[in-house]
Every structure is written in C-alpha cells, then in structure tokens.
Amino acid sequence: MPSSLPPATRAIIAANVIAYLLQQVAGDAMVQLLALWPLGTLFQPWQIISYAFLHGSIAHIFFNMFALFMFGRPLEYFWGSARFTVYYFACVIAAALTQLTTAALAGSQEPTIGASGGVFGLLLAFAMYFPRQRIVLLFPPIPMPAWLFVLLYAVLELVLGVTNTQAGIAHFAHLGGMLGGALVILYWRARHTPRS
C-alpha cells in the first residue's frame, strides 16, 4: 500500500487538528455550538457532522487520527477520494443519528464529540475489503486478521454499551458508524450486481 497520505484523509486529519487547536482557545463556546446535543433547545442540524471534528483530550484526538491514518489511507487509495469522503461522512452521520436515538431513549442531556463514529466505519470497511490483512494490537501486541479484530471490537463495544460500562463514551455511536458503513457498502455492491 502506498505510504503517502492521500488528499481526503489528509484534509480530514488537518481539519480535526485545527478544530482541536481552536477548541483550546474558544473552549466551551465551540462545544456549545458544534457538539452533538440531544434533541432539544441546544440541538442544531449541522451538529450531525460538526461534532466529529471536536475532541475532548489530546489522547482522544491522537487515537482517532492515528486510526484514520492507518485505515483511511488504504481505503482512500482503494476507492478514490470522492467515494472515500462520501463513505466517511455517511458513517459520521449514521453514528450521530444512532447517538441521538440512544440519548433520547436514555433521557441523556450530554453532548457527544469525536470522530470515532467515522473511524469505526473505516474499521468495518477495512475488515470487509482487506479481511486477511494483519493488525497488531498495541496492548497486548497480538497480531490477528482484520476481520477478527473488527468483529471482537464490535462485540466489545456492544457489551460495553449494553452494560453502560465506561460512562461518557458513546459506544452505540461507534456501532452506528459501523452499521452506516455496512449499509453504504451493501448499497454500492447491490448497484454493481449484474441483473439476470
């Protein structure tokens, strides 16, 4: 796979870094305006995309951008920049809609920020298109095929979401990003299936 960073992946990472730096200056004002708030007085339609450019800490943005770099790059080379961009933002929107639904059911009033919904969609796509590609975990350093890594990660997210473990992490939004990605890929495949 090529080592250079393709344009859409580079632009998304740059936009996230710039937004994070602006957050350090503007603080709560950016969260108030751009985070994904539950349906109500603070919710605005643009938040279903803008929330994905905000992050809560340096670790939060680092791991999201590292994953975007690792998985976005091969997918953008495989699909091309236009299709990659459509896919990524479809996952971001699907994650937002899932989070809005979950928040409404739980009665939560907390905002959601972070690119994780889009990143989880990229993880799913990587596992579908490069299932045998080896992924080595950081902790512990265990190599495994992409399809197994993503399956285990999805199961873990589901368990953590259902048990409400790790409060403050939008586990169902992560799963929503994966679901949105799966639907986009299935749609693309159906469009290119020859009819008899």
Two tokens, residue 185: 């890929």
Question: Which residues are part of the catalytic machinery?
Answer: 116, 174
**Phi and psi for 178 in degrees, rounded to 5?**
-65, -45
CB 127 within 8 A of CB 153: no
Q: Omega into 194 within 30° of 0, i.e. cis?
A: no
